[in-house]
Structure 1
Amino acid sequence: MASQVFLHIGLPKTGTTYLQSVLWGSKRALTKDGYLLPGQGHREHLWAALELQDRPHLERRDPKAPGALARLVAAVQRHKGPAILSHEFMCGAGRDQAGQLIESLAPAEVHLVITARDTLGMLTAGWAEYVKNGGTKPLAEMRGERIGGQGEFGWRTWDLAGVLRRWARHVPPARVHVLPMPGPGAPRDQHWRNFAGVLGLDPDRYDAPDEPRNPALGVVQIELLRRVNPRLTAFHKPVDRGTWIRGYLAEKHLVRQAGERLGADDGQIAECRERADRAVAIIERRGYHVVGDVEALRVPRDLPPRPRPDAVSDTELLDAATTLVADLLADARRTGREGHPT
């Protein structure tokens, strides 16, 4: 059985893609250092996170998806050194589900690793990610545990206090590690360095990319995508949404357009402040291990004015849409130079 298991359970939009890219890109180095990162790729950890939460019809994602959780746990049980499981959707698991997973890893010493950020940033970035995955609800309607029936989008996974209540009860406080995202002035690889330190890795032995893996869209561009999504009725499978809406439209084309960061309404800002204050109070009261500045989890009192998606004008949307059409046509010509349109 593994000596230690590091469960990196999220939260979403807290640099998880960046950290996971370092892990999966360094699997050989991890093995050389005695660490197990089980599975063939990050998708297996995604499937395991969904299976942990009893999501139905996993076979629609991939025929290999059912049973992913049991396979990863079995691999951990066979390993003699430290092991790492990492996916941000794990944080959506219920209290009993979390407890069952941790119990299944006994007698290993289980550590919870929770990357986090200020709650307002979580809301706006989480909504943008929801839209990039085909979502259609406006930001003003993003309230509740699950949005549009998708458990990974909503306060179920965005609320740090709720995640701590469900998960942290199953391990000693000293083994709950909260990693606030470093601020803008920090070194580019500081998040990786903090994460590696918790895992007991030498961060300099691993290649950490300089650029973020999940580039953000501007408020006009994300609102345009939200309005396009209802028309994309053929893209109903998760793999289609991820490949074409998120990957192709959003992260290949719309991200090229310069845009302003989006803002939320006053009511949502107030709610985010309350949720952040609750999370910080829990962390301080229970004595969890914090790597970084716990105050970075609070919503700043002085916020710069930022445009809300519902204030985007038709003129701005039209300008973004015409630019997108031109980019798509140029891309179509590049990919089909050997032939002609039919």
Structure 2
Amino acid sequence: MARRVFLHIGAPKTGSTYVQNVLWSNVETLKGVGILLPGKFSAHDEAMADLRGMNWHATPAWSWDRIADKAAGWPGDVVITNEGLGAATDAQAARAVRSMQPAEVHIIVAARDLWRTFPSMWQQSIRARSVWSFEDFIQAVERGRFEDFWEHHTANRMLRRWGDLVPAANRHLITVPGPGAPRDTLWRRFAEVIGIPDGVCDLTVPMGANTSLGAAEVEVLRRVNQALGDRYPHRAPYQRAVQRHLVDAVLKNRTNELRFGVGPERAEWVLDLAEQQIKDLDDYPCEVVGDLAELRPVDPQPQPTPGQVRHDQLLETAIETIIGMITHAEELHGLVPEPRVSPIVRLRRRAAGKVKQSLRMVKAAPRQRF
């Protein structure tokens, strides 16, 4: 039976990819100090989708019960990490916690300031096949028509939904450090919660695979999603095709110089929301690793929204993207080795080719009359 189980449930866009990269890159080392990550990275995503009843994987190999069984069979500590867990309903969260008991269950939630969260969250939704504009997204949040943003993508509500299921001492809120903080600050905070000593893990891993796209690039992707319609009904095939061949291979590798964000007309609104968020979290009994003040935007710089990208900029980006995908296709073609053919088969093919050539010559020759 596991001693402790740490459920890292989100929130999305809080550096979870970097933390997960460190964990999965050191999975054997962690096992050597008594910490298990059951299965592989995909197992945690499939188990999360199973728990939430999401039809995201066409042929999932892992269920929540299977990952819970793996945890139960480990004598030390267990870490289960997926930022989609935070969006579980009350009943789903209760089932998840219950399935890990009688181990001591801990809930880990990370929080990031809203000035950076809004554009990042919208972009992530586009990369998950959404088609709405940034203006539609931000208006929906502003006018109270998108409660799922607060329920599924911010620490406040998901911490209460999950945290209320465990003792206060087992609730952990990690704040995401602001720009300019040392690269490994977020990891060290995460490791502190679990009890991973300094120096155990190799931190020379990529910060994360979720490189932000520029305004023109994400708008191209949004329009591609619109054109795709109902193709790729499952999330996993969409990610394999669009994420791999368009986003990862081309869009991420562009300069992405044209940045975007919340427009200046909403700066005061975001600052007010930040103060409400800080107060709400300060009132909730849990361990705070970091500083709630980091959730307060520091000197927010106004940036244009994606809807303000000029048509000529968008057209140029689309054309360069097509060129990039052609190059990518050529590179993939070069990676596919020519099939190996035995000498006997080659001789047979050569002989067959000569026979066909002779027959064509006979057919093409003019017929003589007698």
TM-score interval (norm. to shorter): 0.7 to 0.9
Instruction: Give the superposition deviation at 1:63.
Output: 4.1
Q: TM-score, normalised by structure 1?
A: 0.88
* 1:202 maps to which of 168, 178, 197: 197
Aligned residues: 328
Amino acid at match of 2:48: A
Superposition pairs of residues 79-228 of structure 1, within 5 angstroms: 79-142=74-137, 143=140, 154-208=149-203, 209-228=205-224
5+ unaligned residues in a row in structure 2: which ranges?
A: 337-370
Q: Which residue of 1 aligns with 2:345?
A: none
Q: Which residue of 1 aligns with 2:352?
A: none
Find the residue that maps to 2:28 and give its secondary structure: helix
Amino acid at match of 1:35: I
Cα displacement string for residues 84-134 of structure 1 (whole angstroms, at most 9, x for unaligned residues)? 111000000122321222122222211111122112322211111111122
* 1:282 maps to which of 270, 280, 283: 280
Amino acid at match of 1:15: G
Q: Which residue of 1 aligns with 2:342?
A: none
Question: Is the 2:263–2:304 contact (alpha carbons within 8 Å) kept by the matching residues of 1?
Answer: no
Find the residue that maps to 2:294 and give its secondary structure: helix
Cα displacement string for residues 238-286 of structure 1 (whole angstroms, at most 9, x for unaligned residues)? 1222122223211221122222331124676555445433332232112
- CA distance 1:225–1:63, change in 2 (3 Å): closer
CA–CA distance in structure 2, aligned partners of residues 240 and 270 of structure 1: 40
* 2:261 maps to which of 236, 249, 263: 263
Find the residue that maps to 2:250 and give its secondary structure: helix
Q: Which residue of 2 aligns with 1:31?
A: 31
Most deviating of 253-262 and 303-312: 253-262
- CA distance 1:337–1:199, change in 2 (3 Å): closer
Amino acid at match of 2:46: W
CA–CA distance in structure 2, aligned partners of residues 266 and 50 of structure 1: 37
Question: Is the 2:249–2:325 contact (alpha carbons within 8 Å) kept by the matching residues of 1?
Answer: no
Most deviating of 85-94 and 287-296: 287-296
Instruction: Give the superposition deviation at 1:165.
Output: 2.2
Find the residue that maps to 1:241 and give its secondary structure: helix
Q: Which residue of 1 aligns with 2:3?
A: 3
Q: Which residue of 1 aligns with 2:52?
A: 53
CA–CA distance in structure 1, aligned partners of residues 335 and 36 of structure 2: 45
Instruction: Give the superposition deviation at 1:338.
Output: 9.2
Instruction: Give the superposition deviation at 1:296.
Output: 1.3
Find the residue that maps to 2:106 and give its secondary structure: strand
Q: TM-score, normalised by structure 2?
A: 0.81
Find the residue that maps to 2:164 and give its secondary structure: helix
Amino acid at match of 2:17: T
Q: Which residue of 2 aligns with 1:304?
A: 301
Amino acid at match of 1:297: L
Runs of 4 or more off by more than 6 Å in structure 1?
none
- CA distance 1:337–1:197, change in 2 (3 Å): closer
- CA distance 1:138–1:20, change in 2 (3 Å): same
Find the residue that maps to 1:154 and give its secondary structure: helix
Amino acid at match of 1:281: K
CA RMSD, aligned part only? 2.4
Amino acid at match of 1:232: L
Cα displacement string for residues 222-251 of structure 1 (whole angstroms, at most 9, x for unaligned residues)? 112111222224333312221222232112
Amino acid at match of 2:284: R
Amino acid at match of 1:91: G
CA–CA distance in structure 1, aligned partners of residues 96 and 60 of structure 2: 23
Amino acid at match of 2:243: R
Question: Is the 1:161–1:275 contact (alpha carbons within 8 Å) kept by the matching residues of 2?
Answer: no
Amino acid at match of 1:213: A
Find the residue that maps to 1:235 and give its secondary structure: coil
- CA distance 1:198–1:76, change in 2 (3 Å): same
Instruction: Give the superposition deviation at 1:309.
Output: 0.9
CA–CA distance in structure 1, aligned partners of residues 206 and 331 of structure 2: 28
